[in-house]
Structure 1
């Protein structure tokens, strides 16, 4: 289970911790685990870092961190400045993420539908998947006035506090939803963020009944978001469509009456598309 990043005492983010499935120690390579941990550390801290900072954020000792950094630099996944003695992700590090997007059939198949939702709403439309306790933006059509300028492809946000996250959580098996909420860091992001687990479960039940979610400024001040789930192969929830709007131009009631029907309609159409793709 992926847990949201936490701040260390040095102002660094710890990388997301991922609970491993049952592993066969005869096949499991700890050296690769350390390498991925260092890459995750750069994902959690998207800026140049020194050896000391990488070691502190990753939890590796300095000697292990140095060997991993050297190897990743030799493989051109990291660059190193002799002046600042800092390491940074290289352009090659982008290849893995974009290869995933290119191999995900839903990204390409959904784009005409996202464009249509954008045409109808004139607002930013996103396709979002669930990964552990986070949502990840995998496709995006910006509106004329982009509210969520901090959001880009690959951006992660806590699922519990977002409309697409709640749209998906509401349609998972109850025990899976409970597990995700227990693993989530239910911390307030804005003064509007709902953090009580019982309140969240009650809200998720309403989302399941309505068929869509609306979140009012719980992740970003001034951002009202509505989302509906996509159901894929075997009628399992696989993603969500989301429209983000500005509270300066939209009210909750107006979003519900005008934008929620758009995301619901597009999500139904995309569910027909997604159901054709068996899970990997």
Structure 2
């Protein structure tokens, strides 16, 4: 029985998983030789695994180094959903939702989209409801603009070269110069607020979440319905609370390395 199971095992899959596991909190960026050594694989095999993972969107290359991309989180989406990232969500996001009476979410940037890694809500605002693993375009969202503001100039330029930007509502900002100005403003003031740009009825304010080197690795938001709350009022009433919760989550992220690998260089 054991020999049969062994014959049916997929060696290539096992090697690919070993390559992913080579990355750690202390070593989020590795060279090919370092990955091969940590995974116990020949360099040529490790390279084939990395090229496959890169093609599938799980790994990216920056110079001689490789980094995991947030899409890796999708591999554990079921686990994350069942656990609901317990420490972060129950301790912080649920408290934030209760205090505001609305929803709260945590996202990371993956290419031209944001990916939800935690979310909680005390009410259903509308038909468009995100969940762990949901992907939304970055440009019309408060969290997306916060994450874009954390990019280097080179990465931001790459984003605008790759992003497909179109109007989702009559209020969606699609002019790239205006979007750059909004991202610059977000970087300057430390938050972003949007209203009716992703969908009618959605108003949200977001702040950055940092790793221990003050790199933006995630975005935290509080959202409501635009018929109940304007963008300006939302920012005025919730910005201080969001920043306080962000500081607490930033400290928690030091112990959750998987969420700090947004590859924003």
Q: TM-score, normalised by structure 1?
A: 0.62
User: 1:99/1:251 Cα in 2 relative to 1: closer, same or farther (>3 Å)?
Assistant: closer
User: Where does structure 1 lack aligned partners over 5 or more consecutive residues?
Assistant: 1-21, 38-94
Aligned pairs (5 A) from 1:218-237: 218-237=197-216
Say whether residues 1:109 and 2:107 are aligned partners.
no
Residue 4 (structure 1) aligns with: none
SS at match of 1:161: coil
- Residue among 143, 147, 154 paired with 2:133: 154
- Residue among 28, 33, 49 paired with 2:48: 28
- Residue among 246, 249, 261 paired with 2:228: 249
User: 1:228/1:220 Cα in 2 relative to 1: closer, same or farther (>3 Å)?
Assistant: same
Contact 2:77-2:132 at 8 Å conserved across structures: no
1:107 is displaced (CA, Å) by 3.2
Contact 2:96-2:104 at 8 Å conserved across structures: yes
Contact 2:116-2:134 at 8 Å conserved across structures: yes
Contact 2:108-2:218 at 8 Å conserved across structures: yes
User: 1:132/1:24 Cα in 2 relative to 1: closer, same or farther (>3 Å)?
Assistant: farther
SS at match of 1:160: coil
Q: Distance in 2 between matches of 1:148 and 1:265?
A: 30
1:26 is displaced (CA, Å) by 8.8
Q: Distance in 1 between matches of 2:113 and 2:96?
A: 24
- Residue among 222, 238, 245 paired with 1:259: 238
Count of equivalent residues:
201
Which of 1 and 2 has higher RCO (CA within 8 Å, sep 6+)? 2
Residue 136 (structure 1) aligns with: 115
Residue 119 (structure 1) aligns with: 98
Contact 2:204-2:231 at 8 Å conserved across structures: no
Q: Distance in 2 between matches of 1:202 and 1:172?
A: 14
SS at match of 2:181: helix
Q: Superposition RMSD on alpha carbons, in Å?
A: 3.3
1:277 is displaced (CA, Å) by 4.8
User: Where does structure 2 lack aligned partners over 5 or more consecutive residues?
Assistant: 1-31, 33-42, 58-73
1:128 is displaced (CA, Å) by 0.8
Residue 180 (structure 2) aligns with: 201
Q: Distance in 2 between matches of 1:260 and 1:226?
A: 7
Please give the per-residue CA displacement for 1:216-239, whole angstroms capped at 9, x wherever unaligned.
111111110111110014221111
Contact 2:114-2:136 at 8 Å conserved across structures: yes
User: 1:36/1:130 Cα in 2 relative to 1: closer, same or farther (>3 Å)?
Assistant: closer
Q: Distance in 1 between matches of 2:100 and 2:189?
A: 20
Q: TM-score, normalised by structure 2?
A: 0.66
SS at match of 2:131: coil
Aligned pairs (5 A) from 1:12-27: 27=47
1:275 is displaced (CA, Å) by 3.6
1:99 is displaced (CA, Å) by 5.6
Q: Distance in 2 between matches of 1:148 and 1:207?
A: 28
SS at match of 2:224: strand
User: 1:175/1:193 Cα in 2 relative to 1: closer, same or farther (>3 Å)?
Assistant: same
